[in-house]
């Protein structure tokens, strides 16, 4: 029941709810009030009635006391009758002491309804008052609320003595009447109040319900119409107002979001549309055929190009399968299968089809077919994009053909070049070789001519081959590291002879910012430089040739270096300047006649320069001179190179430069200042220099260093040095002599004159630094006995190798060791092939110098064993350089064929050793000879020695003892005596052997001995002995025992001559 009510109530509108609430409240209030009021009234009435009766009883008691005491019934009745006035008193009974009824009163009209039973009984005549009294007495003790006919009894007391009892009965019905009346009134009041409440409620509930209803209506409206622009009106700041405000805000928020969303949607839509437009346009406009099919392959769409290509219109093909394009010329079932597999897998397939147009034409198409997948990965369509590749196919075929042809042509070219190279060289080798052999014959003049021509021809051929190689793009550039300044020095040195001949001065200037450690093709670079320098020398008769090297530009480690060669020669007329680099041209047709040359040189230089990433150009004024410049790209390897310590501090030192050439003076001054020398004074001739030095001495400010050019007019370097040695007070000055060319014997002279350093021009910075450092660290005292510090020493100490020298002849070993150690290397010697193998198994060597002709195991055998071991053990290939007296190319080939890497012919020279080591890449390349075959151990022909012919018996033209040469090879005089004595003892052994073998008559062993002697003699510089040994070897080789025997006598003679010579030497 309660639930029903609650539910029903809940279903009421707010209005109703509020009304109900208000009214309920009012009703309850009114009801409660009324009831309370009525009850109160009843109660109070009751109370007052009770009190009234009691009072009345008391009064009566008092009033009737006299009557009772005097038994005056009349009086008593009289009194009682006075009660008429009080209608509420229904009956009164006076009882005397004995409980008899003394008097009584009954209200008029009181009947049984009003009288209590006791009273009615009392009034009956048969009543027993006493009994009734008790009853009445009892009844009067109670006075319950609901008693409408209450009894009250009161004792009548007179003078503290009870004389009787009065009992009154009233009728309270009047109360009810009163109350009813009241109730009626109250009801009316209540109703009125209720009505008023209702009206008020109606009025005031709107304060609450109106906003809510309005809000609710708006909400309904909003949700029905989805119109979020509506707003609820709020006119009160209470919670409902807050609710409404909140609601409004929410609507605003929704509106905002809706707006944003719709804007975004709009954007997206636009984007999508734009994209669709673009894509559609792309498809429509595409110059490829595009077909879209169902997953089963039925055409849904074709683009215009398709129609254009195939000739079918869209309507004709829609609904059909692209197979309609299939040309019967091809079997494509395999292709189709593959296609379907790929595509159904979700991947793209590309392939080529030979298709047929509507008009029957066949054409090639490359098709790319891709599936279109929806979100779940189901294929919804297939797209095919087709490109007409008919032309391409044709082009491909043509290209293939052309390529084949080109390859064939190229192949032919290479073959030709290779052939040519070989074909040309072979006869050339023959010519040159033969001319060599002819050296010892009386046809020496002719031989010279042949040789010169052959060389010349070789040069031209090389140029032509180079040129054609470049033209055929077969020229490959080396990428080798090299040091610039040493490289320049070496390059220039090869020009010295010619320059000296013509009296030309060679200077070089390298900019400070050009790094030294570079990477490029030094060979080609050298080729260009030599070409230009040779040209400069060729076309100059006087003046100087300047080589300038500068840094043109730099990009990280890629450098563009500029080389300029300036001469003071005949110059080149302006109109010829452009053509000068073209092939086969010279400035003047007559030039070749006067000056010779192929006219290819500059063209080759141009191509080489361009190949090396640069260019070449010339500036020239006829009659004044020319400057040829070129640029090449080289890599900066400065960070790689372990530079020798360059922290040389010459701060605060002073120097003097003496040179007649201003450029040189300037260059040296700049160099010295750059190194820290504070003052560099100059003098242009020896006399001036001496003057300055004397005055400096007198002022006690001598320079610490003196650099003196050798060739100066009016007193050369030697003169100055002499003066300085003779005169006093110049001990503190370190002196360096700078000749243009290194001459034999200069070292000795320097030593005599107390010259501290000997520096051959051109000056190369590194060498210069090191030289200066050494020179300046020398003490003044032992001035006299010192050899001058030279470049070689400086140079050769930069690399230190661990080398093994294998030779059965002790002198040879010693010589090789001396030379190698002088170069700064660590040398171990082995006396035989076997010993060499043992040593090689225990230690690691950087390279091996192996003699060929050795007993038991010769050099070739030993090399073979080493190589075999390397193969099986997988070790690094050890560079093995042959050291032998064999000089011919065939010998060289044999050595290389046996597995050797290089070849040095005896007499061994430091230069050759260095080159051999460089070629084997044991040491970095500092001097490189232009080689035609990269693997060549040496140029095709090694001069076999001094070209002077020797006739049997004619001795004097060949020196007995080339002492200077020995000294030169050894790098100093110290070891000469030791070597000589070694040689002598060695020779004795050999001569004995020779004798023995001759006696035996075994030509082969004789040949071997002769060969050994040849080597020995070559090393020591006993030229005559050597020559004799050569003859002997040849003769023995030819089997001419008689000739050998004859030569033997000569051998002994020349040996004795050598002995004499060396003894005489010792005594000097």
Partner 1 sequence: MNLFHLLIVMFVLIIPVTESGAAAEAEYQVKAAMLYNFAKFVEWPADSFGSDSRIIFCVAGKSPLNSTIQQMQGKQVKGRTVSIRQVSRPDEVAGCQVLFIPHSENIRLSAYLQQANHNVVLTVGDQERFTASGGMIGFYEEENKVRFEINLEAAQKRHLQISSHLLNLARRVR
Name the residues that contact partner 1, by CB under 8 A.
62-63, 65-67, 69-70, 72, 75, 78-79, 158-161
Report the Cα–Cα distance between both ends of the chain, in Å, rounded. Answer: 154
| Cβ 66 to partner 1 shortest distance, Å | 4
User: Per residue, what are the HEC states of 58-92?
Assistant: HHHHHHHHHHHHCCCHHHHHHHHHHHHHCCCEEEE
Q: Which residues neighbour 1064 within 8 Å (Cβ) at sequence distance 6 or greater? A: none
Separation CA 80–CA 95 (nearest Å):
13
Separation CA 917–CA 928 (nearest Å):
11
Q: Name the token pair of 836.
A: 């060499």
| Cβ 69 to partner 1 shortest distance, Å | 5
CB atoms within 10 A of CB 861: 15
Phi/psi for 555 (5° steps) reads -140, 100
| Cβ 74 to partner 1 shortest distance, Å | 9
| Cβ 70 to partner 1 shortest distance, Å | 5
| Cβ 64 to partner 1 shortest distance, Å | 8
* Number of residues assigned to the chain: 1068
59 vs 438 by CB, closer to partner 1: 59
CA distances from 157 to 65, 103, 152, 163, 378 (A): 7, 16, 16, 6, 123
Separation CA 321–CA 293 (nearest Å):
8
Q: Name the token pair of 1059.
A: 């002995």
66 vs 243 by CB, closer to partner 1: 66
Separation CA 797–CA 910 (nearest Å):
13
66 vs 888 by CB, closer to partner 1: 66
| Cβ 82 to partner 1 shortest distance, Å | 11
| Cβ 161 to partner 1 shortest distance, Å | 8
81 vs 252 by CB, closer to partner 1: 81
81 vs 727 by CB, closer to partner 1: 81
163 vs 928 by CB, closer to partner 1: 163
Q: Name the token pair of 125.
A: 């005549």
63 vs 861 by CB, closer to partner 1: 63
Tell how many helices (H) and how many strands (E) occur in the chain.
34, 27
Nearest alpha-carbon partner for 351 in 816, 337, 359:
337
48 vs 161 by CB, closer to partner 1: 161
Q: Which residues neighbour 25 within 8 Å (Cβ) at sequence distance 6 or greater? A: none
157 vs 984 by CB, closer to partner 1: 157
70 vs 416 by CB, closer to partner 1: 70
Calculated CA dihedral for residues 221, 224, 229, 231, nearest 10 degrees = 20
Separation CA 71–CA 558 (nearest Å):
165
| Cβ 80 to partner 1 shortest distance, Å | 13
69 vs 635 by CB, closer to partner 1: 69
Provide the greatest CA pair distance for the chain. 223
Phi-psi region of 15 (alpha: psi -120 to 50; beta: other; left: phi over 0): alpha
Separation CA 95–CA 133 (nearest Å):
8
DSSP 8-state assignment for residue 931: -
| Cβ 112 to partner 1 shortest distance, Å | 33
| Cβ 155 to partner 1 shortest distance, Å | 16
Q: Name the token pair of 615.
A: 């260019």
| Cβ 118 to partner 1 shortest distance, Å | 28
β strands within 404-557, DSSP E = 480-483, 505-510, 517-520, 544-555
β strands within 801-896, DSSP E = 802-806, 826-830, 847-851, 880-884
Q: State the alpha helices, DSSP H only, in 444-483.
A: 444-471
| Cβ 94 to partner 1 shortest distance, Å | 14
74 vs 394 by CB, closer to partner 1: 74
154 vs 767 by CB, closer to partner 1: 154
Q: Which uninterrupted H or E stretch holds 370? A: strand 362-373
66 vs 387 by CB, closer to partner 1: 66
Omega of the bond leading into 747 within 30 degrees of 0 (cis) = no
Contact (Cβ atoms closer than 8 angstroms) between residue 967 and residue 1003: no
Helix, strand, or coil here: 601? helix
Instruction: Calculate ∠ Cα 1064-1067-1068, nearest 5°.
Output: 90
163 vs 707 by CB, closer to partner 1: 163
82 vs 1039 by CB, closer to partner 1: 82
Phi/psi for 780 (5° steps) reads -70, -30
Q: Name the token pair of 217.
A: 């209506």
| Cβ 57 to partner 1 shortest distance, Å | 16
DSSP 8-state assignment for residue 148: S
| Cβ 46 to partner 1 shortest distance, Å | 31
166 vs 771 by CB, closer to partner 1: 166
| Cβ 164 to partner 1 shortest distance, Å | 13
| Cβ 61 to partner 1 shortest distance, Å | 11
Phi/psi for 242 (5° steps) reads -60, -45
Separation CA 169–CA 882 (nearest Å):
171
Nearest alpha-carbon partner for 902 in 981, 847, 824:
847
| Cβ 65 to partner 1 shortest distance, Å | 7
Separation CA 91–CA 84 (nearest Å):
10
Separation CA 585–CA 599 (nearest Å):
5
| Cβ 101 to partner 1 shortest distance, Å | 18
63 vs 255 by CB, closer to partner 1: 63
Q: What is the CA radius of gyration of the chain?
A: 70
Nearest alpha-carbon partner for 668 in 720, 628, 703, 716:
703
């Amino acid at each position: 029941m309660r639930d029903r009510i609650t539910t029903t109530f809940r279903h009421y509108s707010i209005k109703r709810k509020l009304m109900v609430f208000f009214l309920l409240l009012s009703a309850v209030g009114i009801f409660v009030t009324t009831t309370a009021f009525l009850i109160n009234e009843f109660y109070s009435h009751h109370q007052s009635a009770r009190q009234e009766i009691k009072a009345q009883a008391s009064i009566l008691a008092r009033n009737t006391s006299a009557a009772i005491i005097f038994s005056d019934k009349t009086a008593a009745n009289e009194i009682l009758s006075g009660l008429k006035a009080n209608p509420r008193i229904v009956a009164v009974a006076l009882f005397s002491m004995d409980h008899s009824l003394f008097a009584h009163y009954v209200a008029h009209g009181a009947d049984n309804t009003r009288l209590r039973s006791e009273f009615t009984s009392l009034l009956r005549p048969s009543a027993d008052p006493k009994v009734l009294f008790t009853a009445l007495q009892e009844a009067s003790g109670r006075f319950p609320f609901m008693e409408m006919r209450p009894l009250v009894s009161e004792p009548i007391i007179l003078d503290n003595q009870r004389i009787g009892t009065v009992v009154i009965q009233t009728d309270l019905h009047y109360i009810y009447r009163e109350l009813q009346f009241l109730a009626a009134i109250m009801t009316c009041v209540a109703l009125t109040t209720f009505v008023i409440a209702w009206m008020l409620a109606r009025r005031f509930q709107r304060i609450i319900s109106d906003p809510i209803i309005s809000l609710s209506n708006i909400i309904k409206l909003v949700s029905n119409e989805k119109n979020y622009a509506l707003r609820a009106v709020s006119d009160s700041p209470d919670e409902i107002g807050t609710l409404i405000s909140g609601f409004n805000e929410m609507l605003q928020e929704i509106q905002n979001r809706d707006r944003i969303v719709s804007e975004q949607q709009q954007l997206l839509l636009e984007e999508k549309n734009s994209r669709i437009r673009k894509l559609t346009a792309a498809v429509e406009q595409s110059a490829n055929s595009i077909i879209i099919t169902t997953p089963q392959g039925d055409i849904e769409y074709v683009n215009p190009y398709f129609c254009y290509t195939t000739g079918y219109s869209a309507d004709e093909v829609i609904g059909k399968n692209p197979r309609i394009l299939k040309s019967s010329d091809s079997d494509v079932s395999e292709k189709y299968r593959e296609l379907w597999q790929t595509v159904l897998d979700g991947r793209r397939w590309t392939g080529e089809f030979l298709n047929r147009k509507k008009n029957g034409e066949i054409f090639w198409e490359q098709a790319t077919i891709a599936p279109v997948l929806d979100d779940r990965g189901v294929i919804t369509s297939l797209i095919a994009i087709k490109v007409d590749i008919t032309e391409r196919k044709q082009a491909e075929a043509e290209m293939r053909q052309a390529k084949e042809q080109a390859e064939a042509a190229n192949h032919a070219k290479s073959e030709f070049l290779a052939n040519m190279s070989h074909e040309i060289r072979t006869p050339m080798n023959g010519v040159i070789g033969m001319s060599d052999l002819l050296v010892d014959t009386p046809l020496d003049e002719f031989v010279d001519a042949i040789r010169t021509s052959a060389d010349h021809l070789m040069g031209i051929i090389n140029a032509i081959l180079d040129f054609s190689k470049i033209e055929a793009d077969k020229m490959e550039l080396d990428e080798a590291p090299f040091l610039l300044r040493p490289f320049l020095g070496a390059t220039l040195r090869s020009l010295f002879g010619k320059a000296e001949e013509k009296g030309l001065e060679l200077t070089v200037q390298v900019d400070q910012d050009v790094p030294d450690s570079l990477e490029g093709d030094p060979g080609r670079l050298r080729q260009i430089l030599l070409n230009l320098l040779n040209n400069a020398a060729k076309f100059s008769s006087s003046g100087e040739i300047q080589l300038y090297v500068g840094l043109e530009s730099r990009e990280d480690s890629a450098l563009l270096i500029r080389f300029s060669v300036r001469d003071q020669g005949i110059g080149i007329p302006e109109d010829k300047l452009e053509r000068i680099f073209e092939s086969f041209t010279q400035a003047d047709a007559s030039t070749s006649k006067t000056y010779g040359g192929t006219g290819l040189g500059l063209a080759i230089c141009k191509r080489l320069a361009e190949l090396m990433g640069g260019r070449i150009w010339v500036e020239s004024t006829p009659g004044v001179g020319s400057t040829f410049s070129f640029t090449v790209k080289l890599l900066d390897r400065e960070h790689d190179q372990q530079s020798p310590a360059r922290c040389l501090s010459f701060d605060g030192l002073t120097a003097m430069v003496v040179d007649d050439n201003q450029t040189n003076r300037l260059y040296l001054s700049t160099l010295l200042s750059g190194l820290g020398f504070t003052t560099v004074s100059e003098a242009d001739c020896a006399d001036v220099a001496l003057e300055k030095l004397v005055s400096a001495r007198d002022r006690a400010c001598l320079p610490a260093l003196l650099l003196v050019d050798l060739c100066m007019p009016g007193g050369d370097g030697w003169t100055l040095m002499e003066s300085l040695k003779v005169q006093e007070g110049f001990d503190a000055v370190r002196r360096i002599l700078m000749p243009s060319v290194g001459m034999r014997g200069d070292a000795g002279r320097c030593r005599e004159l107390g010259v501290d350093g000997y520096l051959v021009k051109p000056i190369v910075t590194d060498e210069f630094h090191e030289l200066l450092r050494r020179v300046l660290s020398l003490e003044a005292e032992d001035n006299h006995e010192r050899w001058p510090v030279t470049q070689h020493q400086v140079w050769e100490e930069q690399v230190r190798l661990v080398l093994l020298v294998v030779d059965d002849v002790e002198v040879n070993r010693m010589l090789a060791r001396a030379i190698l150690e002088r170069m700064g290397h660590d040398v171990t010697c082995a006396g035989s092939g076997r010993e060499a193998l043992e040593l090689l198994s225990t230690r690691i060597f950087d390279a091996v110098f192996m003699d060929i002709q050795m007993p038991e195991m010769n050099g070739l055998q030993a090399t073979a064993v080493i190589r075999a071991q390397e193969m099986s053990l997988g070790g690094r290939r050890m560079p093995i350089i042959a050291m032998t007296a064999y000089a011919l190319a065939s010998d060289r080939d044999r050595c290389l064929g046996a597995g050797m890497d290089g070849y040095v012919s005896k007499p061994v020279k430091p230069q050759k050793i260095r080159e051999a080591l460089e070629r084997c890449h044991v040491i970095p390349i500092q001097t490189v000879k232009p080689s035609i075959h990269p693997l060549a151990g040496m140029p095709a022909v090694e001069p076999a020695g001094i070209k002077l012919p020797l006739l049997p018996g004619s001795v004097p033209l060949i020196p007995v003892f080339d002492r200077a040469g020995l000294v030169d090879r050894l790098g100093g005089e110290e070891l000469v005596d030791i070597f000589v004595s070694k040689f002598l003892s060695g020779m004795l052994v050999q001569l004995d052997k020779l004798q023995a073998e001759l006696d035996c008559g075994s030509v082969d062993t004789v040949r071997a001995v002769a060969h050994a002697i040849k080597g020995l003699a070559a090393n020591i510089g006993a030229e005559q002995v050597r020559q004799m040994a050569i003859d002997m070897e040849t003769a023995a080789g030819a089997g001419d025992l008689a000739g050998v025997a004859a030569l033997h006598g000569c051998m002994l003679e020349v040996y004795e001559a050598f002995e004499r010579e060396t003894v005489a030497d010792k005594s000097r």
